[in-house]
Amino acid sequence: VTQPFFSIVTPVYNTPLDVLAATIQSVTSQAWPSWELLLIDDVSPDSAVRDALAEAASHDSRIRVILREENGGISAASNDGIAAAEGEFMVLLDHDDLLAHGALAQVAGVLQKNPEVDYLYTDEDKIDEDGKRYDEFRKPDWSPERFRAQMYCGHLSVLRLALVREVGGFDSRYDGSQDHDLVLKVTEKARQVYHLPEVLYHWRAIATSTASSGNAKPYTWDAGVRAVQAHVDRVGIDATVTKGSWFGTYAIKRTFDPSHRVSVIIPTRGTGGFVHGESRVFLIEAVRSLLAHTEHKNLEIVVVADAETPQAVLDELAEVAGETLLLVPYTKPFNYSEKCNLGFLASTGDIVVLLNDDVEVIGDNFIEELCAPLAQDNVGMTGAYLVYENGSVQHAGHRYGERGYKHAFSDNNFGDPGPFCALMVDREVSGLTAACVALRREVYQEVGGLSEQLPLNFNDVDLSLKIRSAGYWLVWLNRVQLFHYESKTRVAIVHQWEVDIMRARWGVAERDSFAHE
Amino acid sequence: VDISPDLDNSKDDGAAAPHDQGTPTVAELSSEIAKLKHEALVAQDTIAGLRAELVTLQDNYIALRDADIGKAYARIDLLEDEREARLHELRVEVKLHGERMEVMRNEIARVKESNTWKVGSVLIKPISKLTGRMTP
């Protein structure tokens, strides 16, 4: 038998016969020869379904039919398939969906080259009742935070069977989100998770399927909350899981240890402007909104002020910030990176927040929500959801590719779900704007802070890439929300020497790992 | 490099400290330490940047070695084959052209040796003298 050998597990229940035939045919037409198709009938009321299964098995010895004696639901039926499976890997195929032509061969190629892969997923699209394909989902590379917040991996999912058995297979307590539960358990133990960026699965959208309407099976959301809560409990994340702001998404509300000392570093020159119909000094409103949206007490606000900052602004700042204020004078020519670094060196917190002076905090528990994920050692930096005054998205994570360094999803408006709910879930990103980020002190120090070779542009891109290359995740947080009045204060002019520094350090990315163009 | 803050840089108590000739004040020492911490942080960035450059150069080298150079050599082979084929065609063409020229030269010589040409030349010579034109 050519390795890897796939056990394709397909629970069947009253499937329309033509649809079932197409599903089976999508397997039998695969060029890759090493597979078995386990069709588990969960007591379909229509006896013609069982006849069709028997007929299919009579044509190909690799098709095996299991007839359950009583209806047990999706998990029980799938577990019967797992028990009977003889392959090295389990491939999940729903009874009305289609494997793409050549799917198994492509997956096999990856598994042969990467023997430590325990879980593999691919991109997918949907297929309507007329056979037309649409809604292509180009997924991010493995994103554990996003996976907690959303079962984005979906289909095609390929799992090492030994690991599936080790975690106990499907758990019927989570029926409706049983696949999310299983993949959470498998990835907790997986040596390597692999994203194969090819559309290898066609999800059939019929009137009652989840593919055609997320609300078709509302009970799945409750089951998902319980599955994700069980996962965070297993891995030791101190958090409460609730339904997210969009169907099928989850909010992971972490507890933030109040003993952390948080230093918020704000470079400024005390400028003002006209926003939301009123004149304001940006720095003052940034600090005021920050203090109004956090309950965290162990706080230090480190303002790094240019010599030209008006004394009246500093006086008002002292009133607003009170004892939390630490003022650091800056007398050199403008260098944003150096200002942040001097603020860092003067600060005393074990967590550092970099904050632009032209922001206004919107969301509650700002410090708590922004800093709590840093309790995980492998999270190097967290960042916020920034919107312009007109409500369009300014920052929801960076996207790095052949077209350069961009803000992802900037064609959306605040409140939009974004493609596949990208704006409604916490998730890993390639980079974060330093307009609002949080890091542990030792991480800032480890990577040398912001590069002073880049005084104006790309210093946050460089910081993001340094932190990622040191082995940490960057996590964008959808509930940490601020206005960013960037266009009011700055027009970006990029110099060739800045591009040259970035290219020397980081080359040119071919594709973004987390946000496709 | 440990650059955690262990001195409160915001306090300037140097004026109150004893200041012997050649002995730095606490304020001067604090300032010097702050500068050194800053230099250390900048050095950390430089190291991180150089590491990144090294990785990028290695990646580029591997990519060139495995892909571009291989493709370039393959392209050279193809172009050399194409050049040889073209040269062969040109040689054949030149040879054929030479043969055609030889045939034409022979044809001209044969025509000039013919009686028709000789008689015609005799007839045309007087007229040519009158008109000033050269005879063939």
Separation CA A304–CA A340 (nearest Å): 7
Separation CA A349–CA A370 (nearest Å): 15
Token representation of residue A54: 């028997």
Q: Which of A296-300, A408-412, B129-133 has the lowest mean pLDDT?
A: B129-133
Please list every residue in chain A whose beta carbon sits closer than 8 Å to the beta carbon of residue B39.
Answer: none
Please give the average per-residue pLDDT across A271-284, as a whole number.
93
Beta-bridge mates of residue A194: A120
* Chain B contact present for A344, CB below 8 A: yes
DSSP helix/strand/coil, B131: helix
pLDDT in the model for residue A510: 83
Name residues 428-467 of chain A within 8 A of B (Cβ): 441, 445-453, 462, 465-466
Separation CA A356–CA A436 (nearest Å): 7
Distance, in angstroms, between B37 CA and closest chain A CA?
Answer: 7
Please list every residue in chain B whose beta carbon sits closer than 8 Å to the beta carbon of residue A467.
Answer: none
Separation CA A384–CA A474 (nearest Å): 11
Among partner residues A446, A450, A505, which is closest to B52 by beta-carbon distance?
Answer: A505
Token representation of residue B54: 């090294």
* H-helix segments, A357-479: 366-371, 441-446, 459-469
Separation CA B90–CA B103 (nearest Å): 20
User: Is the per-residue pLDDT at B104 higher than 60?
Assistant: yes
Residue B45 near residue A448 (C-beta atoms within 8 A): yes
Separation CA B24–CA B35 (nearest Å): 15
Token representation of residue A189: 């133990």
User: Is the per-residue pLDDT at A431 higher than 90?
Assistant: yes
Q: pLDDT averaged over chain B? A: 75
Q: pLDDT averaged over chain A? A: 93
One DSSP character per residue, A317-369 reads HHHHHGGGEEEEEE-SSP-HHHHHHHHHHH---SEEEEE-TTEEE-SSSHHHH
Please give the average per-residue pLDDT across A317-335, as a whole number.
95
Cβ-defined contacts of B4-13 (< 8 Å, 24+): B4/A441, B4/A445, B5/A345, B5/A346, B5/A347, B5/A348, B5/B37, B7/B33, B7/B34, B9/A345, B9/A346, B9/B34, B10/A326, B10/A327, B10/A328, B10/A346
Interface contact A453-B45, CB threshold 8 A: yes
Please give the average per-residue pLDDT across A330-357, as a whole number.
96
User: Is the per-residue pLDDT at A80 higher than 60?
Assistant: yes
* Chain A contact present for B110, CB below 8 A: no
* Chain B contact present for A261, CB below 8 A: no
pLDDT-based confidence at residue A57 (cuts at 50, 70, 90): very high
Separation CA A350–CA A446 (nearest Å): 13
pLDDT-based confidence at residue B3 (cuts at 50, 70, 90): very low
Among partner residues A344, A446, A451, which is closest to B49 by beta-carbon distance?
Answer: A451
Separation CA A263–CA A349 (nearest Å): 5
Give the model confidence (pLDDT) of A117-160 as tens digits: 999 999 999 998 888 899 999 999 999 999 999 999 999 999 99
Token representation of residue B134: 């050269």
Among partner residues A328, A347, A449, which is closest to B45 by beta-carbon distance?
Answer: A449
Please give the average per-residue pLDDT across A447-453, as a whole number.
97
Output the pTM of the full model. Answer: 0.83
CB-based contacts of A127, cutoff 8 Å, min separation 6 = A98, A133, A134, A202, A203, A204, A205
pLDDT-based confidence at residue B5 (cuts at 50, 70, 90): very low
Give the model confidence (pLDDT) of A40-56 as tens digits: 999 999 999 999 999 99
Interface contact A448-B47, CB threshold 8 A: yes
